[in-house]
Each structure stands twice: as structure tokens, then as C-alpha cells.
Structure 1
């Protein structure tokens, strides 16, 4: 005699920028509910809205489109994986070119539109199976640079737009990300951030990366400890000066000349 699994029904979030596509998934989920009970707890039309939706509720699985404004589905999946209780991710897209990236992100499945009910059911059954197994380790792959970084603060997941970050500063086990308004603590390594955002940020010091667009010049200062001259970076909109190490200064000279020209 079979019994219903105790972890049913599945709670679902649908994230797609097209309303008809979201409606189609809702209808399919309703069609397969007799075989696999489910509840749609949240909907969103982009990755940023999706993360806001899961702050106040826990979902078991996210059905995620890939091409969306503000934050695409691939980046959304990376942020979802940082949640205390990350949902399983199933990509639902009209494009099959992202399949490799999807599975590198440990997505449970990858569905190409138009999705059929039996195919969606099979994907959700995989979610049920994966929930009873040990989670797979995160993949170590080279992905496109993120547009946002996530920060855990007082039980909330906050998003910081990379374009608004003035500098990163390493401090013990955390990295501080400074915007013009405030500072955020990230559980990231400075080395990884430099590798991912090397085109946008430049290393000034072993513990500091600064946004290239935020640097408006360099000036000399006297270090009172040894009376030697040290260079500092001048930033736009922030009175704070950032130290430039002796080791980095030769590499920054050409950049300084570009700023002054």
C-alpha cells in the first residue's frame, strides 16, 4: 500500500518576465496537482523581484526563465543558492543555448518552451528525489560577472548593485563593499571579486579594490610613521582617501596619466 510522501505539497515560485508564460506554468501545475500536489506561493517578473519575494516565504522549487530584465535567471540562481534554505531551480526558457550553464549551476532540470505537463511533472519528481538526497556541492565554473551581490543582514538577504559599489576592502573574514550611502559586509574573498570584476575594479592595495569609474585622481600624502610619501586615490562623492601600496603604484601610473589627460 503506497502512502503520500510527507513533504508534499511542493511550494513553488514562478519567475518569468512574460505574464502569459507565468499563466501557462500555473495552468500546468494545476493539471499535474492530482499526481504531485503543489502550491504556487510567489510570482515575479525578474530576478530582483524574485529575491524580494522569497525573503518573506520559503519555497521548495523555483521555475525560472533565463532572459529577463534587471537580473537574468542565471544570476538569480546564484543568489538563490546563498539562501539559508535554497530552493531547487528548474530553468524554463525558450532558448536551449544555456543548458550547459544551467547544469553547471546544479539546476535540477532545464525545460524548453513550450513546456508539456508530463515534462514538468518529471522535473518536479526530480526535485522530490533530490530533497531526499544530500545536496550536490556547488560547481566551480566560470560564469558571467554578476550585476548584483548579496549580503545577509539581520536575517534578510540584501542586494547591492555592483555599479553602485565604490570600493571593496578586505577586513579579516569579511569584505566590506562601500557605496556612496553605506557599507555592506560580504562573505566573499577579495581575490574572487578581483577575478570576477577585473574590468570594473582595479587593485590599489593588497586589501583594497576600487571601481575604476569612481577614481578621479591620485595625491601624495606623508606617512607619519616613516615620513615617506605614499600615494592615495581620490574618490568621486566620498571624502575618504584609499591607500595605494608601493607595489601597486608602478602599475597604476599609467592609469593615473589617463585620468590627468
Structure 2
């Protein structure tokens, strides 16, 4: 404790502008607790996030990770990186390859067209809710 106090006394406190910059900077990683360790997953590698029951799954090109954060928290922290497609799904804007009308189900046409987001390096298609479709169209410039 005495050694730490001597270091604190010699060291100048950080400048206010440095603290302000650090406080407003967005995280570049999300943390994942897995098998007794904590992994740092770069936000730029996350293709989409999906909430299922009480867990949020982050999908990268390589694999899936289970997060301890909510979709709302992530959406609020990274509004320029992720777009809400559905109440349970956010997609990384950089991962969107396009949108496509969903296939008919059981040979029946639906009253309203449904849309799915196509991803650049994954075969999955993410459904877009009717409620979110206008915001998705606007965000993607369609």
C-alpha cells in the first residue's frame, strides 16, 4: 500500500481532455465468458446478434459466442454499426450484402412480402420484421 501511495504521489493526474476522450470512445471489443476465461471479440468481426430466451448470441464468420449483454445495450452503444431487423436481431451494417424477398411458404403466397437480409460471408438469411422494414430500407438506401 505504501509503494502504491508513493507512485500516486509522483504521478500527475491525467488531463481532463484525455479523460473526456476515453470516456466517449466506443469499445472495440465485447467480452465473452467461456470455459473459465474471458475472450475479447472484436466488434468489427460480429456479423449479427440474436437474442434467444435470456441469452444474446454474437455470430462472427468463424463461430458463435454467448454474451451477457442485451441487444438494447449493444444497439444503444453502437448505433452506427448495427441495425435492428427484428425485436430479437441486430445486423452489422458492414456485413449486409443485400435484401431478398422471402420464399413462399408451403406454396402459399403471403398477403405482404417478407424480406430477408443476405450476409456477405455467411449463408444464413436474417428475417426483417414488418415493423422494422421501413427503417431497414432507409438505412440501406433502398
TM-score greater than 0.5 by the shorter chain: yes
Aligned counterpart, 1:146: 27
Aligned counterpart, 1:231: 115
SS at match of 1:194: helix
Give CA-to-partner distance per residue, 1:85-107, whole Å, 9 cap, x none: xxxxxxx77732245799xxxxx
Q: Which among 128, 131, 134 is matched to residue 244 of structure 1? A: 128
Q: Which among 193, 196, 204 is matched to residue 74 of structure 2? A: 193
Query: Alpha carbons of 1:247 and 1:232: their partners in 2 closer, same or farther (altered >3 Å)?
Result: same
Query: Alpha carbons of 1:100 and 1:144: their partners in 2 closer, same or farther (altered >3 Å)?
Result: closer
How far apart, CA to CA, are the structure 2 residues paired with 1:173 and 1:196?
A: 20
**Would you say the 8 A contact 1:231–1:244 is kept in 2?**
yes
The TM-score, its normalising length taken from structure 1, stands at 0.46
Aligned counterpart, 1:207: 88
2:61 equivalent to 1:180: yes
Give CA-to-partner distance per residue, 1:20-51, whole Å, 9 cap, x none: xxxxxxxxx8xx39x99xxxxxxxxxxxxxxx
How far apart, CA to CA, are the structure 1 residues paired with 2:141 and 2:72?
A: 26
Aligned counterpart, 2:14: 95
Say which structure, 1 or 2, has more relative contact order (CA 8 Å, 6+ apart): 2
SS at match of 1:160: strand
How far apart, CA to CA, are the structure 2 residues paired with 1:164 and 1:100?
A: 27
How big is the shift at 1:240? Answer: 0.5
Aligned counterpart, 2:43: 162
In structure 1, the gaps of 5 or more residues are 1-9, 11-28, 37-62, 64-91, 103-141
SS at match of 1:255: helix
Equivalent pairs, count: 135
Give CA-to-partner distance per residue, 1:147-167, whole Å, 9 cap, x none: 001000011100100011001
Query: Alpha carbons of 1:93 and 1:143: their partners in 2 closer, same or farther (altered >3 Å)?
Result: farther
Q: State how 1:1-261 maps to structure 2 within 5 Å.
A: 32=3, 95-97=14-16, 98-99=18-19, 143-222=24-103, 224=105, 227-228=109-110, 229-257=113-141
Q: Provide the alpha-carbon RMSD of the alignment.
A: 2.9
